Homo-oligomer: A and B are copies of this chain.
Amino acid sequence: MSNKIRLGIVGYGNLGKGAEKAIRQTPDMELVAVFTRRDPASLVLDQTGVKALHISAASDYQNEIDVMLLCGGSATDLPEQTPHFASMFHTVDSYDTHAKIPEFYQSVNEAATKHDKTAIISVGWDPGLFSINRVMADAILPNGENYTFWGKGLSQGHSDAVRRVDGVKNGVQYTIPSEPAIEKVRDGNNPELATSEKHRRVCYVVAEEQADPAAIEKEIKTMPHYFADYETEVHFITEEELKQNHSKAPHGGFVIRGGNTGEGNKQIYEFSLQLDSNPEFTASVVVAYARAAYRLSQEKQFGAKTVYDVTLGHLSPRSGEELRRDFL
């Protein structure tokens, strides 16, 4: 019998694939099976010894899998899947619809509590590591202001909007944090900043052969909600350039708090990520929290949990003794 924590993955998109890769980097965990809604035979897994199974077979694996990683999307998959799987497994998900987290928490908490399962929700970098830093900074510097900047990063929603414009064959959109805005925040002046002042938008567009670039540029730049309020750049490139230079999914961002202590001493707290691969990093966070979910379950801490309920002692593969000696 293995002493490793035994994991399953539900959903084999970018996040599920990232989770498979991340598990291979963690010696204390192992992947048992990947569950999919597609034909399992169509899945090409990275690893031998891992089963590809239809999602309907998951319930048969309650004795073989300790923690299930739910790698579906937040729009429609997770609101259904997390409560469902949290009645059979300890789970981790990356639910990221910020506005709906309270109701999501409640429905997962009901299912998990009822079945003595531990379900850590909304894990990743935002929500996730960024959330941790917003709360840490707020607890330490009560007299201050939090700022979150996103980017430089590929935005899926804005790329989709660009691709819907008439005459656009293909395209991507990067959200880029505004350097002057970041500098103001780092100076500790706690400025008032609209979201549109905090970010600018850069589009790389492949136009159809007959299309009018000026018309495309105008339609993008004046698109309400998505671009109209932002400083926006549009660059026209070839399909080859798009493929060569814009096929990764980089992302990242900053959480900065400017606080004051004593008689106006400025204290600047900053956390940032610069990621070559957004899904692989998110998956790495999810996998680390699977360890925490397992340990919380061993302590009978059941129900829905968030990153606010997890200690670093639960998260790290290292012993308390090693952490105190080598990391404190």
Contact = CB atoms under 8 A, between A and B. Distances in A.
Nearest to A141: B284
Interface size class, chain A = 35 or more
- Interface-central residue, A21, A22, A127, A135, by most chain B CB under 10 Å: A135
Contacts of A132: 136, 312
A140 interface: yes
A139 B328 contact: no
B271 A267 contact: no
A202 interface: no
Contact of A140 (B18, B266, B284): B284
Given A139-B317, A311-B308, A315-B139, A101 B268 contact: no
Interface stretch (A31-39, A73-81, A238-246, A272-280): A272-280
A277 to B, nearest CB: 4
Given A307-B312, A312-B132, A138 B270 contact: no
A122 interface: yes
A131 B318 CA distance: 14
A309 interface: yes
B131 A328 contact: yes
Nearest to A292: B139
A310 B310 CA distance: 8
A122 B21 contact: no
Interface stretch (A55-63, A208-216, A228-236, A319-327): A319-327
Contacts of A323: 135, 306, 308
Nearest to A17: B262
Nearest to A186: B274
A129 interface: yes
A18 B284 contact: no
Contacts of A275: 265, 267-268
A277 B141 CA distance: 13
A25 B279 CA distance: 39
A102 interface: yes
12 contacts: A18-B262, A21-B261, A105-B324, A122-B328, A132-B312, A135-B312, A135-B323, A138-B316, A139-B317, A265-B277, A267-B284, A311-B311
Given A270-B272, A311-B311, 8 more contacts: A98-B328, A129-B136, A136-B312, A138-B316, A139-B291, A267-B281, A308-B311, A310-B311
Interface of A: 18, 21-22, 25-27, 98, 101-102, 105, 122, 127, 129, 131-132, 134-136, 138-143, 186, 248, 252, 259, 261-262, 265-277, 280-281, 283-285, 288, 291, 306-313, 315-318, 320-321, 323-325, 327-328
